[in-house]
Structure 1
Amino acid sequence: MALDSMHSSLKFTILSLALLHFLYKPTCSTSRRVLDQVNRTQMGFRVALKHVDHGSNYTMLERIQRGINRSKFRVQKLNAMVLVSDKSTYDVESKVHPGNGEFLMNVAIGTPPNPFSAIMDTGSDLIWTQCKPCDDCFDQSTPIFDPSKSSTFSKLSCSNDLCEALPTSTCQDDGCQYLYTYGDYSSTQGILATETFTFGSDSKSQKVSVPNMGFGCGVDNEGNGFNQGAGLIGLGRGPLSLVSQLDEPKFSYCLTSIDGSKTSTLLMGSLANPKALSSNSKATTIMTTPLIHNPSQPSFYYLNLQGISVGSTHLPIKKSTFSLSDDGTGGMIIDSGTTITYLESSAFDQVKKAFTSQMNLPLDDSGSGGLDLCFKMPKDTTSLEVPKFVFHFKEADLDLPSENYMIGDTNMGVLCLAMGKSSGMSIFGNVQQQNMMVVHDLANESLSFVPTQCDEL
């Protein structure tokens, strides 16, 4: 979608005095051993996702503020991981993963199946849940998994490829022992094993059971980063992740509005087809951009961001600002577990300058909005104009709906840009991904955005 200079601002109407809701429609558009035991026609399945604040009585701005607080350590760790230049130090630092997340998925483990809720995380790889007998486990809403009561539980040996893929492991008499540490100082420690996992538990999907999935059976789980659920499902690009173990090169997710009560959707395998999905989309155009591989951080999904436009102005950001350097620093990743988008500081400063000059509102410097750029809104506001915002990815200009970057609260009298600044790398967060089917195609090394009404899938 090329930027249309004739539409450098968007006009919208406030439908609620409690919360600004922007109604802008885009103007343009595990290894192979697992697959051997599962019919490929079954490998398309869907899983319902719930935001961690689903069902709570928070305004949109409050939800974003809570998400920023949850993401704080995650963003710090993501930046720290790519800023390490000394190789000996890097080897140590790379064993710490971003951690935490924003969306929960229901799965079941074992035979008979034991349901539990896990954090979906595209920024890490390991699949794990809490297991009995627990040395140290946090509270969870479902019973802790007991391997002794499952007929399909099996420990993995230290010579197994998945054990060797762990960042930290030791070999004990009873098999491969793992330690996985996250950026918020949470950790899980236990036995690497295989089990049958069952996916597709919502009313719109047939259940699919996948045998011999490698996972961490955590008996010592510390920290509060995961107490929303009972474990984590890693969707990164490494060999331990769900994507790699299924050997399915395609998955997608569609995130509903952060202020809504509807569930989001994760689609795996054959169901994650952007052409099929476009029939339920807001636009027929599918915006596809290449994925970049970073050998220094092989689990992350890097995008090639080439520029940004605010209103009709293509910002004079240096081309190198978002480039992935030879030493593995810089670049931009897309991440489901980070709430808002974080731009490299020099680029964010230009975005901030452009918005400040184009918005016909005074700046709010009270800090009440909890974001880097906020404006004061007059009382009894009925309409406002906000500049358009376009991310110019390679081969794809993503023209965001206004609700994906401007957040307002009339009770507080503020209107904020839902973005922040970072150093080391930029991060494309989940607020900017609302009502977009985000399709990861690893076979073609590409990522597609399909504007979609996600609560209607």
Structure 2
Amino acid sequence: MAQPTTSHMLQHCLGRKKRSAMASVSKLLLLLLCSYHSLTAHARDDLSYKVLATGSVKPEAVCPEPKAVPSSAGATVPLHHRHGPCSPVNSTKMPTLEEMLRRDQLRAAYIRRKFSGAKAGAGDVQQSDATVPTTLGSSLQTLEYVITVGIGSPAVTQTMSIDTGSDVSWVQCKPCSQCHSQVDPLFDPSSSSTYSPFSCSSAACAQLGQEGNGCSSSQCQYIVRYGDGSSTTGTYSSDTLAFGSNAVKSFQFGCSQIESGLNDQTDGLMGLGGGAQSLVSQTASTFGSAFSYCLPPTPSSSGFLTLGAGTSGFVKTPMLRSSQLPTFYGVLLQAIMVGGKQLNVTTSVFSAGSIMDSGTIITRLPSTAYSALSSAFKDGMKQYPPAQPSGILDTCFDFNNQSSIRIPTVALVFSGGAVVNLDPNGIILGNCLAFADNGDDSSTGIIGNVQQRTFEVLYDVGGGAVGFRAGAC
């Protein structure tokens, strides 16, 4: 299949312009991307192989002392895997790898559809775009990381999943006619002296677009439908948010009173996307337009989420944004290295760009790039017998009777020359290579949360860059 001359990501970023103008601007943008200094984010070492204990992915029974170290003194809260001993969520059985990967496929497929612009077929969730285009999210069941905040006056503790692929934040509220069970008491708006629902004529309601067209007793009603078929609806409101030791006044969020298909025990969702309704956009005037997080390597370790993150000490790559899809943060891969050697894959293979996503588990690569990565990784793993595929993961090995394994290093090379050497926990998931084939070379890829583990990942929205700092948690 012939490669496109310009990436889908760049087409979205540049808007609907004439092809000739787009081509010239795209060339200029790519030239600017290539002018960045070459930098490297190292995780632990520079050797061509790394050692990973096979039992390191199993959660411990107790929560160890946190080792996370944010790069700056911004507004910071701890971040935990929702199935680990550090999580405030009621202990629930962790889903099997097969179930996680099945849910992950729903989210990845949703993101691809958003960027492909393909028309939906019968029964496709994309059909709902015709009526609710602004705040459709992805599969909630893949959101693995939670934070604890306070809402209201006095503040009520709320445990919320984080998602860079969503803008509208929400918590379950009283009275709730259809809600799932959760770890904390339901938020009661009548008990908060600072709670205020938005009117249907308010600017905040209008900002929701078609999502805010509903009214109930002159109060703005929101609805968010997710890619896995779940949904939440209720009153769009504002109240004081306690984020660590910081108070965010007039924080806009959804007070959810009717839900469908949600059962993850968390109290709600914190949207970290790039749209106007997200926590990041709402707090930009207070903390600045940069935020960062560190996703821990295992369920038994802790990370953090920081608003107003510092922007020094990171290797950086340009951030690609779309005026049509402002929620998502894009980057451009240029190469992949295995065992210190660059794969023989042309840069044009990555031209469709990739989305940085906290909620997608497995990184999706263009077919040509994935095939080369899988082949090179297998060459470096010849000492281990092959194993049957596990769902979408088809490069798997038999680690029976192994207390530790020796795996080739894998590094992602982004535009501008930023080289990110992945942590061992970002290379192997279970007994398989933690990457998947995106299905072709023309679809938008995804940098999933497995590959982001242990790095402080910086989203410098104001500066137009994504950064990586190794060994942060």
2:363 matched residue in structure 1: 341
> What is aligned with 2:246?
208
3-state SS in 2 of match to 1:292: coil
Deviations 1:115-153 (A, max 9, x none): 111111111100111111112111112111111121111
1:402 aligns with 2:424: yes
Q: Give 1:309 deviation, angstroms.
A: 1.9
CA offsets per residue over residues 319-344 of structure 1, 9 Å max, x none? 33322xxxxxx420111111221212
Instruction: Give the one of 227, 238, 246 matched to 2:264.
Output: 227
- CA distance in 2 between counterparts of 1:300 and 1:381 reads 40
Correspondence 1:175-186 to 2 at 5 A: 175-186=219-230
Alpha carbons 1:125, 1:239 under 8 Å: kept: yes
The structural deviation recorded for 1:8 is 7.0
Partners in 2 of 1:93 and 1:170 — Cα distance?
A: 10
Query: Is structure 2 residue 331 aligned with structure 1 residue 303?
Result: yes
1:46 corresponds to: 76
Cα distance change on mapping 1:107 and 1:356 into 2, 3 Å = same
CA contact (8 A) 1:311 1:387 kept: yes
Against the structure 1 CA distance between its residues 98 and 149, is the aligned structure 2 distance closer, same or farther, given a 3 Å change threshold?
same
Aligned pair partner of 1:131 in 158, 173, 183: 173
2:470 to 440, 451, 455: 451
- The structure with the largest strand share of the pair is 1
Deviates more, 1:175-184 or 1:338-347: 338-347
Distance 1:374 1:211 in 2: 49
Q: Does 2:420 correspond to 1:389?
A: no
Q: What is the CA-CA distance between 1:212 and the residue it aligns to?
A: 0.8
Query: Are 1:254 and 2:274 matched, yes or no?
Result: no
- Determine which of 205, 213, 221 is the counterpart of 1:170: 213
2: distance between equivalents of 1:62 and 1:180? 24
The 8 Å contact of residues 308 and 390 in structure 1, kept in 2 or not, is answered as: yes
**Residue 308 (structure 1) shift:** 1.4
Counterpart residue number, 1:437: 456
Residue 157 of structure 1 aligns to which amino acid in structure 2?
A: S
Contact 2:458 2:467 in 1 (8 A): yes
Deviations 1:223-272 (A, max 9, x none): 12x5230111100000000001112301111122124x232101111xx1
Relative to 1, partners in 2 of residues 1:383 and 1:374: Cα closer, same or farther, differing over 3 Å?
closer
Structure 2 partner of 1:412? none
Q: Secondary structure at the match of 2:49?
A: strand
1:84 to 2:110 alignment = no
For residue 304 of structure 2, what is the amino acid of its counterpart?
A: T
- Offset of 1:70 from its aligned partner? 4.0
| d(CA) in 2 for partners of 1:143, 1:115 | 8
- The CA distance in 2 between the partners of 1:20 and 1:361, in whole Å, is 21
Match of 2:282 among 245, 257, 276: 245
Q: Which residue of 2 aligns with 1:422?
A: 438
Q: Which of 347, 355, 371 is equivalent to 2:393?
A: 371
8 Å Cα contact 2:365-2:435 kept in structure 1: yes
Q: Distance in 2 between matches of 1:2 and 1:263?
A: 24
Taking the aligned partners of 2:41 and 2:256, their CA distance within structure 1 comes to: 50
1:74 and 1:183 in contact (8 A); partners too: yes
Q: Does 1:320 align with 2:360?
A: no
Contact 2:165/2:328 (8 A) holds in 1: yes
Kindly indicate whether the alpha-carbon contact (under 8 Å) linking 2:41 and 2:470 is maintained by their aligned counterparts in 1: no
- Secondary structure of 2:199's aligned partner: coil
The number of residue pairs the alignment matches comes to 396
Aligned partners of 2:167 and 2:278 also within 8 Å? yes
* Closer/same/farther in 2, CA of residues 11 and 187 from structure 1, 3 Å limit: closer
One-letter amino acid of the counterpart of residue 345, structure 1: S
* Cα distance, 1:93–1:420 mapped onto 2, change above 3 Å: farther
Equivalent residue in structure 2 for 1:97, among 133, 137, 155 = 137
- Given the superposition, is the C-alpha separation of residues 187 and 358 from structure 1 closer, same or farther in structure 2, using an over 3 Å criterion? same
What secondary structure is seen at the aligned counterpart in 2 of 1:293? coil
Give the Cα–Cα distance (whole angstroms) in 2 for the partners of residues 402 and 192 of structure 1: 42
Query: 2 CA distance for matches of 1:2 and 1:453?
Result: 15
| 1:394 maps to amino acid | S
Instruction: Tell me the distance in 2 between the aligned counterparts of 1:91 and 1:64.
Output: 34
Q: Which runs of 5+ in 2 are unaligned?
A: 1-38, 59-72, 121-125
* Equivalent pair of 2:330/2:354 in contact (CA under 8 Å): yes
Answer yes or no: is the 8 Å Cα contact 1:64–1:339 preserved in 2.
no
CA contact (8 A) 2:40 2:420 kept: no
Q: Partner of 1:199 in structure 2?
A: 243
Counterparts of 1:62 and 1:178, CA distance in 2: 30
CA contact (8 A) 1:136 1:220 kept: yes
- For 2:11, the equivalent position in structure 1 comes to none
What secondary structure does 2:222 align onto? Answer: strand
- Give SS of 2:213's match: strand
Opposite residue 364 of structure 1, the aligned amino acid is P
Deviation at 1:366, TM superposition (A): 2.4
Cα distance in 2 between the residues matched to 1:104 and 1:236: 16
Instruction: Say if 2:40 and 2:315, in contact at 8 Å, map to a contact too.
Output: no
Unaligned runs of 5+ residues in structure 1 are 22-42, 201-206, 279-285, 324-329, 409-414
Q: CA RMSD in A?
A: 3.1
What is the alpha-carbon distance in structure 1 between the residues aligned to residue 252 and residue 341 of structure 2?
49
Residues 152, 195 of structure 1: 8 Å contact kept = yes
Summarize the Cα distance change of 1:370–1:19 in structure 2 as closer, same or farther, 3 Å threshold. farther
Distance 1:401 1:227, change over 3 A: closer
How much has 1:85 moved relative to structure 2? Answer: 3.6
| Contact 1:81/1:94 (<8 A) preserved | no
CA distance in 2, matches of 1:9, 1:131: 52
Q: Which moved more, 1:141-150 or 1:240-249?
A: 141-150
